[in-house]
Amino acid sequence: MKTITIIASALLFLHLHVAGQGSALLLVKASNGSERTYYEGKIVKAVLVNGEVFKGVMSIVNDSCIALGQDTIRLSQVERFRIKSTANFISGGMIIGAGVLGTFIGINMITESAAAGGYAAFFGVLFGLPLATVGVMAAGAGLAVILAGKKYTRYKWQYSVTPVAQGP
């Protein structure tokens, strides 16, 4: 087990070292100057000013162009980016987990109270059905968070390409 842990850790750190080389898409928020950096290899959706939509794995062509799959686009033509991040997967997963838990508890309340019969069945359905319904809706919302990603529009963010410092 110790060997597996060491190998997995080494592969993780090697991946982070390799992923941090080359160039990256730098997004700077116009209002406060906060920065987001996205490295090559991310799945990106770009909507151009004329309405065309491109989606694919991002790679940097030069300081003013990026490639999404087989298509090359200029940063000056991009109206908005939609990029999925790790935070989307974490928060969406947590929301899905809470929704599944709520659904499970609601269904359990209904079935247990129905088995007891009488007033217990009435109150079990009265409280369990809304809990199960909200749980299903929360799980759907969590899935939507994962699938949507973060949107960066031109009027709020400035797009540029920046070189990433090479490792040691």
Cα–Cα distance between 78 and 146 in angstroms, integer?
23
Contacts of 119 (CB under 8 A, 6+ apart): none
Cα–Cα distance between 24 and 152 in angstroms, integer?
15
Cα–Cα distance between 121 and 108 in angstroms, integer?
12
Cα–Cα distance between 26 and 165 in angstroms, integer?
14
Q: Which tens digit of pLDDT belongs to each residue from 54-111?
A: 998 888 888 888 998 888 899 889 999 888 878 888 999 999 999 999 999 999 999 9
pTM, two decimals, is 0.62
Boundaries of every domain in the chain: 22-84+149-163, 88-147
